[in-house]
Amino acid sequence: DTGVSQDPRHKITKRGQNVTFRCDPISEHNRLYWYRQTLGQGPEFLTYFQNEAQLEKSRLLSDRFSAERPKGSFSTLEIQRTEQGDSAMYLCASDLVLRGYTFGSGTRLTVV
């Protein structure tokens, strides 16, 4: 297992289009997180899964954002009707209790 994988690495989309990102966590990690990061800022929490259950979702996350983790393995993050303000790096992380996060390399989204 080589770590957390995210796909795609880069995505350019037109405003109003839907996009979906995938994250494959480290296999033995049952906790999975999505964060968003813009230039000069720290990562901002979006949502958290333990196994297949979505246990926490940021109040900042509009209803255009949805995340799933079917069967407690990989996860997808979908953004509907993208806006320019959605342009950011979307980071997935997984962890075990008290071990700290292992992040994927991220998906850089550009909305034009």
Partner 1 sequence: RKEVEQDPGPFNVPEGATVAFNCTYSNSASQSFFWYRQDCRKEPKLLMSVYSSGNEDGRFTAQLNRASQYISLLIRDSKLSDSATYLCVVNLYNTNAGKSTFGDGTTLTVKP
Q: Which two tokens stand for residue 17?
A: 């289009």
- The residues facing 10 across adjacent strands are 108
Residue 22 near partner 1 by CB under 8 A = no
CA 81 to chain centre: 17
Q: What is the closest distance, in whole angstroms, from the C-beta atom of residue 5 to partner 1 in the complex?
A: 12
Give the residue with the Cβ less far from partner 1, 17 or 53: 53
Q: Write each residue from 25 to 64 as x if it is in contact with partner 1 (CB under 8 A), else as -, in one continuous string.
A: ------x-x-x----xxxxxx--x-x----xx-x------
| The one-letter amino acid at 10 | H
